[in-house]
Amino acid sequence: MPQPSPAPPVASLIPPDRFRRQPWKNGGGVTTEIAAVTDGDRLLWRVSVAEVTADQPFSLFPGLERILAVVEGAGLRLGVDGDPPVTVTPSDGAFRFRGEAPVTCALVGGPCRVFNLMFDRERLDGTLRRIAPGAAAEAPPGATSLVFATEAGLHVRAGGRTWQVPGGHALRLDGAGGFDAGAFEAGGGAPLLATLTRR
């Protein structure tokens, strides 16, 4: 007997007017929360875009794993837990570090916008990557994926369906077991894909 087709993922388009601006935990800047999930008073995961306008330390988030990518500006020079600084630019891959580690941050050439993924490392694992037009991407069954159109809009295909994501919007997919071939058609910019799976 043929196997039934997997159920399509549950999709939610998140427009900018549903994003929430809030101060950094240490008061040193402003972040724009795109989506977050909590369990009681415990944060499970969050995706956000931070505006980094000055050299300053990052906030501490004990127990959380953090992954960031620069989406606008020349880049950041990050020193994590006393290690030699690493320069992260828009052309680099995502940068991962532990939320409880002290991080010094210096601007490379002016203010930057930075996409952030953070998650409870005991209960979840996560990835963050830039996606190229026509690319495919894997996501384990039951995963939560969030696509952020940094500039121009794009089309996303998964589970035999297609969603249009305007520039500056995000698309959350729950239960996606992967994306279709040629899943991403972008009009420009560097869309980002965050994926979360339970341990």
Write out pLDDT tens, residues 55-71.
Answer: 999 999 999 999 999 99
pLDDT tier, 157 (very low <50, low <70, confident <90, very high otherwise): confident
Question: Which residues lie below 8 Å from residue 4, measured CB to CB, with a gap of 6+?
Answer: none
Q: Which of 178, 187, 184, 89 is nearest to 131 (CA)?
A: 184
What confidence tens digit (pLDDT) does each residue in 15-55 have?
999 999 999 999 988 999 999 999 998 999 999 999 999 99
* Beta carbons of 184 and 154 less than 8 angstroms apart: yes
Domain identity same for 169 and 154: yes
Last residue within a domain, chosen from 101, 120, 139: 120
Last residue within a domain, chosen from 98, 120, 142: 120
Domain identity same for 32 and 97: yes
Average pLDDT of the segment spanning 85-103: 96
Radius of gyration, CA atoms only, the chain: 17
Domain identity same for 159 and 85: no
pLDDT tier, 131 (very low <50, low <70, confident <90, very high otherwise): confident
pLDDT at 144: 93
Domain identity same for 88 and 136: no
Domain identity same for 184 and 112: no
* Beta carbons of 72 and 113 less than 8 angstroms apart: yes
Question: Where is pLDDT greater, at 137 or 58?
Answer: 58
Lowest mean pLDDT among 9-13, 96-100, 148-152, 186-190: 186-190
Average pLDDT of the segment spanning 89-105: 96
Would you say residue 5 lies in a domain?
A: no
Containing structural domain, residue 183: 10-15+124-198
Domain identity same for 41 and 61: yes
Domain identity same for 147 and 178: yes
Last residue within a domain, chosen from 88, 120, 152: 120
Average pLDDT of the segment spanning 134-160: 83
pLDDT at 177: 61
Domain identity same for 97 and 148: no
pLDDT at 5: 56
In the structure encoding, which two tokens stand for residue 64, read together?
């959380």
CA distance 196 to 36: 12
**pLDDT surpassing 90 at residue 2:** no
What confidence tens digit (pLDDT) does each residue in 158-184 have?
878 899 999 999 999 998 666 776 678
Q: How would you classify residue 193: left for phi > 0, otherwise alpha for psi between -120 and 50, otherwise beta?
A: beta
Number of domains in the chain: 2
Domain identity same for 41 and 107: yes
Average pLDDT of the segment spanning 2-14: 73
In the structure encoding, which two tokens stand for residue 116, read together?
């952030």
Q: In the sheet where 86-88 sits, what is the strand order? A: 56-57, 103-107, 76-80, 86-88
Would you say residue 3 lies in a domain?
A: no
